[in-house]
Amino acid sequence: IQSAMRVSAPYDLELAYSRGMMAFLLFNPAPQGIVVIGLGGGSLPKFMRHYMTGVHVTVVEINPQVVAVARNQFYLQDDDEYLQVVVGDGTEYVRTHKAVCDVLMADAFDSGGTAPELCSQDYYDACAATLVYSGIFVANLWGSDRNFDTYMQRIERAFDGRVLMMPTGKPGNIIVFGFSREPGDMRWKILRDRARALQLRYHIDFLEFVERLTG
């Protein structure tokens, strides 16, 4: 299951991995610009547009039919000054956009899994360059993928080893965070305090995320 929605709460994050991707808020609780590669049912942009006032979200999706389904069946909001859905190639987007966002989220899968062009060293290097100086890269990877270690090594190379990962299930999705620079105060008490505040605001289990983070 790549996308799911509860009809009674269409803007909430139903799947555990999608909630896990929001753990970037532990390191930057007030981003201004977010780029999402891959739309699916639109869970992440829907949540951010609905709950994160004033944040500019750009989504890049290669398949216009996916955009139509997200809007017709999953309640994805129309484009406005805070949400823009671009039909285009995510690899081309990151290659041609430098230092344009605080957070870059990569959640692009097809029926065969991760496309090779979305896990190459060139792609991860371009993702790093798309971020501002203090930016955060967030990738959704599949833990049982036989190439998982290779992907991790490429992300670590792109971000000079400034990488954390967080499993969201066994052997399921693993969320990987790459940092353009060291992410600041990483003491557990500080992270837990941030998690409590974020949990009250967004009703997502951020305290559990802190316990799952590994270097």
> What are the residue numbers of the active site?
107
Token pair for 50 = 């609905």
Token pair for 35 = 């780029």
**Cα–Cα distance for residue pair 105/138, rounded to 1 Å:** 5
Contacts 24+ apart (CB under 8 A), 95-101: 95/126, 97/35, 97/130, 98/129, 98/130, 99/129, 99/130, 99/131, 99/132, 99/133, 100/33, 100/35, 100/130, 100/132, 101/31, 101/33, 101/34, 101/35, 101/58, 101/130, 101/131, 101/132, 101/135
**Cα–Cα distance for residue pair 207/188, rounded to 1 Å:** 11
CB within 8 Å of 122: residues ≥ 6 apart: none
